[in-house]
Each structure stands twice: as C-alpha cells, then as structure tokens.
Amino acid sequence: MSVQAYAVRDEQRPPDNALLQIVQRGLGARPKRLPSWLFYDDHGSALFEQICEQPEYYLTRAEIALLTAHAGDIAEMLGPDVRLVEYGSGHAIKTRLLLQQLAAPVAWVPVELSSEPLRLSMQQMQAHFPLLPIQPLAADFTRPLRLPVPPRAPRHTVLYFPGSTIGNFEEREAAQLLRKMRGEMGDNGGILVGVDLKKDRATIEAAYNDRAGITAAFTLNMLTRLNRELGCNFELGAFRHRARYNAMAGRIETHIVSNKEQRIRVGRLQTLFREDEAMLVEYSCKYSLEEFAALATLAGLAVQQIWLDPEGLFSLQYLTR
Ligand code: AVI
C-alpha cells in the first residue's frame, strides 16, 4: 500500500468497512504503514492549520512571502483570461494573493472532495471577488477530473497545486499525478505547483518537530481517529511521534512509534506492536530544482519558470508540455 497524502477531511473518509480493510492491511504490512490522509478528520485538519502557524514550519510562511513578492510577475507571465483550477481549496490567503493579480480570470475552480470546506472557501472567495465566476468541483483530485464547462473560453487552464502537497506523494505517484494533470490542463495549459526545497537537516526536522508539540499531536490524532471510528484500543501515551529527515531519500519520514510491546485490536483482528516498532504514516519529500525538473520530465512536462521566496526555502514552479 502506498503512503498517499492530501488534505481530505472527515466526511471524505471511505465507508467504515473499507476503512477497516485499509487499516487492517496497513497494520498487517511489514513494516507497518498507514496512509497519511487518515490525519485529516476535523480535529486533524484544525491541527494542520495550527502547524502552518508554528514558527518552525517555514513552508507556509515562505510560500506566502513568495506570493507577496511575485504574484504580480506570475500573473503577468500567465496573461489574461486564465481559468484557475485549484487542487484543494484550503489555501485562501495564497489563492487570494494570486487571484488579485490575475487579469480577467475566466473562473476559479476549487477541487475538494468534501462539500462543506468547498462551500466555506467559495463563500470567503466570493466576498473578496464578487465578480469572479466560481465553479466548485467536489472530486478526488488524484483521480481524472471532469472540469465544468467554463463561462467563456479561457486562453488557458492553469492547475494550481500549492503547499508542497506534491511532496506527500512518493516519486512514482507524484509523476503519475503530474501526468494526469498534464491531460487536464490541455495543450496551452500549465501547472503552478508549490515545491519545498532541500535544505539543511536542522531546518527541515524542526519544521516537523515544533516545540509546541502541535505536529506530534497531529500525528497521534490518527490513533484517536482509529479508536473512534474502528473501535481500536490505541493508548495515546503508549506511542510517540517521530519525524526524521532521510537525506539519502530527500524526505521527512514520519512514524508512530510504540513505547512498549502491546496488542492492538482492529475489528476482529489483533496486531502486535513490539517495543520501539515504528509505523510509517507520512513522507514529505523535498527536492532540488534539478530533481524536480527530472520529475516533471518523467511526466512529459518541462519547467518553464521558477519563483523562490526571499530566503530561498520554497519554490513555485510553472510546468508546461
Ligand atoms: C500537507 N503537507 C504538505 C504537509 C507537509 O509538510 O508534508 C503535512 C504535514 N505533516 C506534518 N506537518 C505538515
């Protein structure tokens, strides 16, 4: 099973039976691993928003600084009459910074699996841009999308994928996702993607081990969710969060580690955790500019333009065919 991640929320979860199977399979794997979308129940989504405000979590700060500095240049390069399709819709500030610079956008199409966050972000955006046509799409952006018919013909379609969510996919899956996006953007279209960059270990590890313990709470919240939804018996105090940078692989690897030998109930099955056994729950991949260009090539895309934040921590990259 692959460790996939994107911000899905509570009501997006698969039916309980499917969830049970996913978790049983993950706990039966060697090493154990669970998909990171399990983080994002309502509480997990709220914790993720808090993570974005932690001083150590440079990604959000850097991406906002980047857009503050370069949204005008980006909009100029994209030109007028763009249809902006956003993968996920939870990035109101970033989207606003971009939309306010775009000349005569044809439509904004936020794509999100669950309807409630979609409704909320539509409301917020409509208040800021009363004349902007908004065409929400309730769909799983990892699957092929049927984009709504635009209100008028766009000059091109830009798929906006901010926040380094591409980093939560393993390389092969990331290439597959980009290739799927390549089909959706059409011949003249492009992809504007947020990519977190490789940097010193200390900076990266601090971002996933904030002092206030919010990321640790976010990680362990997955166990609370499984207790609630599947009747598991995880004791929160008997597990710990561990996020380490694997420099060879270029990624943060987040694990939930068992503090002792213990048996956990998952439906009718029981699984044994040994003392210090680690279960993989998330990858957050970091790229050099060259590595990301190679990934784009694998997906049949080329990097047209790169913008960096003033500290050079984070990049927004524009990919075309
Ligand atoms: C959503 N995603 C880009 C975050 C990241 O940085 O990988 C999720 C996250 N996990 C722990 N902290 C933040």
Q: What is the pLDDT of residues 40-87, one digit of tens each?
A: 998 998 999 999 999 999 999 999 999 999 999 999 999 999 999 999
Of ligand 1's listed atoms, the one at least distance from the Cα of 48 is 13
Q: Is the CB of 36 under 6 A from ligand 1?
A: no
Above 80 in pLDDT, residue 12?
A: no
Say what the pTM is.
0.94
Question: What proportions of the chain, in percent to the nearest 5, are helix, strand and coil?
Answer: 40, 25, 35
DSSP 219-275: HHHHHHHHHHHH-----GGGEEEEEEEETTTTEEEEEEEESS-EEEEETTEEEEEPT
Answer whether 163 contacts ligand 1 (Cβ < 6 A): yes
Q: Which of 4, 51, 53, 283 to mutate to test the pocket of ligand 1 (most atoms within 8 A of CB)?
A: 51
> Is the C-beta atom of 221 inside 6 A of ligand 1?
no
In 3D, which of 216, 149, 203, 174 has the Cα closest to residue 319?
174
Give the span between the Cα atoms of 153 and 104, in whole angstroms. 12
Cβ of 284 closer than 6 Å to ligand 1, yes or no, is yes
Q: What is the ipTM of this complex?
A: 0.99
Task: Please tell me if the CB atom of residue 51 comes closer than 6 angstroms to any atom of ligand 1.
Answer: yes
136 CB less than 6 Å from ligand 1? no
| Bridge partners, 84 (sequence order) | 108, 158
- In this predicted structure, the answer to whether residue 92 has a pLDDT above a threshold of 90 is no
- The three-state secondary structure class of 28 is helix
Amino acid identity, residue 31? Answer: P
Tell how far the Cα of 157 is from the centroid of ligand 1, in angstroms: 27
Residue pLDDT, tens place only, 188-247: 999 999 999 999 999 999 999 999 999 999 999 999 999 999 999 999 999 999 999 999
| b/e code 50-69 from CB counts within 10 Å (16+ = b) | ebbebebbbbbbbbbbbbee
Mutational test site, ligand 1, from 208, 211, 214, 254, max ligand atoms within 8 Å of CB: 208
C-alpha 302: how far from chain center: 22
**Between the CA of residue 318 and those of 74, 82, 188, 208, what are the distances in Å?**
9, 14, 12, 27
